[in-house]
Chain A
Amino acid sequence: MIGELPAGLILVIAGCVLPLLPSALRGMLGIVAPALAFAQLLWIGSDCQQHVDAFGVTLSLVRTDALSLAFGYVFTIAAFLNGIYSWRARRGIEQPAALIYAGSALATIFAGDLLTLFIFWELSALASVFVIWAGGSSRAYRAGMRYLVIQLASGMLLAAGAALRYSETGSLDFDVIGLSSPGGLLLMVAFGVKCAFPLLHSWLPDAYPEASATGTVVLSAFTTKLGIYALARGFPGEEWLIYVGAAMAVFPIFFAVIENDLRRVLAYSLNNQLGFMVVGIGLGTDLGLNGAVAHAVADILFKGLLFMSMGAVLLRVGSVKATDLGGLYKSMPLTTILCIVGAASISAFPLFSGFVTKSMIMTSAAQEGYTVVWFLLIFASAGVFHHAGIKIPFFAFFAHDSGTRCKEAPPHMLIAMTLAAALCVGIGVYPAALYDILPLQVNYEPYTTSHVLAQLQLLIFSALAFSWMMRNGVYPPELRSTNLDSDWLYRRLGSRFVDSATGALHVVFATGNNASAALGRAAEGALRRLHGSQGVFARTWTAGAMCLSVMLMLFALLLLYYVT
């Protein structure tokens, strides 16, 4: 029976039921429901189709294949880890919203047509904004509003693109779409917003760091990977994605280096990792596409782990700003070690997950002859190690001692982090397990001597650059600051523009009002002069004057006749 429910429904139902349960059962449900959803995916397996007739068309509610299953497995694993990590978060909207969010994201992955995709795309956007709002601050509220507007805009583009495609092809099937039609272009932009393409990305570093300690962990797993999945499904091998992805991989790292809020640093590094995946999709080769999917799986786990470790710091210290932290390894030794495992994974150290996934994409880029892109990706890899691998653990747990002494992270958080860390190491040590669930046949060996040596050289010398600059005082100090990103365009320039446009309109209206009032007064004066009680036309004339004027008129008439 469990196999007949649409994928994701278990989590959505669990999210709806959760607030009704006694608080002791809520944490349990948050763990059991994802486990059931995972079991359901194993049960239904590949090549499952479920159709339903609605809106006059046949909707493909569930379509499983290797691509969607790979994302489905890791989504349910992420939801499971989140359930453990947020065991204590029993009150408020966050936990139910997180379950509904995970469930609708899962349903989006398995949507076989564009209309079903749209419905769950929007549901996941709606549910996720409650996770941001659960952060509770007024900053979280405003950031959530901006996030919601952008996510719903992505949904509108998706709906418009789907409608155009339906009128072009007569079908709503969600398979390879291509950019040859206007509908395809709209869908590409809709997916691009979720993937955080350059200039469409600002919602990510804007909103994610404003959620609660547990909320950001949930958010980091799903929304962006929906975009990656949809892109891999609809636009594999679209060449210009290679350049878009390379730009995404490079630009965020500059912002990450100067950012003070460590969860915002991680949001920028999430954007940078998405760049690698977009390059893999753009390459469209078996190795590139597999690499993109593998790296998405690995990223959900190691980025989740890093966000979890920063969440634990936020819970215990009350801040994740580098300027407030330092020396925490004394108070939180286990969190420190687990954070370093996540850092080693994202930095692609041999024996950690990033090493076996990111290199698939880079090898494919080199094989296809995209040398410049390959150089940029190597630079971005060094940059990732620099800002996520070194900066995060260094400024939080080492650096100068802030004097803060706190308790170690609570047990449930440590358990979730340990499981995530075990998966990161597991993928790194035994990549065949991950390669088995990839959509295409893999023939890739990450552990060659030259690859290991090259990667170690890159990493060790990046670390040397960091420590050399630290010792020589070249490294920029951490400063309390806001760094302007493209969200400035709507948060400042846009609102200034609206303000000044409103001001200008006020002036125009006021001038118009004054002018029309003056005109009205002039007209009224003229009427009064002519027709008023003392006006020209209201004057009484004497009989003699009347006779004279009639005589003059008759005389003029006579003259006229005489002349003509």
Chain B
Amino acid sequence: MSWVDHPRSVTQFYWGLWGTGVLLVLADLVVHRHAETAFDGWLGAYGVYGFVGCVLLVLAAKLLRRAVMRGEDYYDR
């Protein structure tokens, strides 16, 4: 098994991603933003919005599946 598939390296990658995320949020404390957009001045606002947005996107898509999903040969029947 190559290292890409190994469960341990997948876990390491996953927690590495969290670590990067936390660092990026902390960087908000240091970086001075110009008041250009609605998010400026909020700690980690882009991160929170991205995370929550994606979770909601997937949950909504699961609901959408109930409404629109049909068999693969739906139009061929």
Contacts and interface: CB of A to CB of B under 8 A. Distances in A.
A386 B57 contact: yes
Contacts of A467: 14, 17
B56 to A, nearest CB: 9
Given A254-B61, A374-B38, A476-B58, A460 B28 contact: no
Contacts of B75: 482, 491-492
Given A465-B50, A465-B55, A258 B24 contact: no
Interface in A424-458: 449-450, 453-458
Nearest to B14: A467
Interface of B is mostly: helix
A138 to B, nearest CB: 9
B61 to A, nearest CB: 4
A366 interface: yes
A254 B72 contact: no
A457 B39 CA distance: 12
Contacts of A450: 31-34, 36, 40
B31 to A, nearest CB: 5
B58 A461 contact: no
B12 interface: no
B6 interface: no
B66 to A, nearest CB: 10
Given A461-B21, A484-B70, A374 B37 contact: yes
Nearest to A250: B57
Contact of B48 (A461, A468, A491): A461
Nearest to B65: A258
Interface string B46-77: 11111111110111111011011111111110
B33 to A, nearest CB: 4
Given A465-B55, A468-B55, 20 more contacts: A254-B57, A330-B2, A383-B57, A386-B58, A455-B46, A457-B25, A457-B44, A458-B49, A460-B21, A460-B47, A462-B51, A462-B54, A464-B17, A464-B21, A465-B53, A474-B55, A481-B72, A482-B75, A484-B67, A484-B69
Nearest first, the 8 A-B pairs at minimum CB distance are A465-B54, A257-B61, A461-B47, A461-B50, A457-B46, A457-B47, A461-B51, A458-B50
Interface of B: 2, 4-5, 14, 17-18, 20-21, 24-25, 27-28, 31-34, 36-40, 44, 46-55, 57-62, 64-65, 67-76
